[in-house]
Amino acid sequence: MIYNIPPARRGDTWDGINSIGVKVSGLAINFTDCEVAMQFRESVDAPVALTLSTSNSSIQVITPAATAVRVLPFVVDIPYGKYYYDFQVTTPAGYIKTYMAGYWPIVSDITV
């Protein structure tokens, strides 16, 4: 699935994403004990500019059903530009699947 995140302003607090759920064959994925990660890069082979994940607590599994995650708000501190990302889930058994990808424009701030 392609999802382009609306633009954010560098230096501002981004609101995050309240809920991301994934269905496979009509059934919601349970994120319990899964590693969920999003990496942002200016191009496919560019260095990682930002990592959001359950490991670094920037992504949280929404309980009690555990069929969705939320990306928590944070201050955007990466340089302005257009960043590509994907949304990847690793299960406890080691199965890795990328469910979503797109881009996220970061616009320049004026007041610093």
Q: For 8-107, CATH number? A: 2.60.40.10
**In which residue are the tokens 């007041």 written?**
111
C-alpha dihedral, 1 to 86 to 3 to 108, nearest 10°: -170
Give me the residues paired with residue 70 across strands: 60
- What is the secondary structure of 2-42 as a DSSP string? B-PPPPEETTSEE--EEEE--EETTEEPP-TT-EEEEEEES
State CA 82 to chain mean position distance: 15
pLDDT at 103: 97
pLDDT top residue among 36 and 111: 36
Per the prediction, the chain carries an average pLDDT of 95
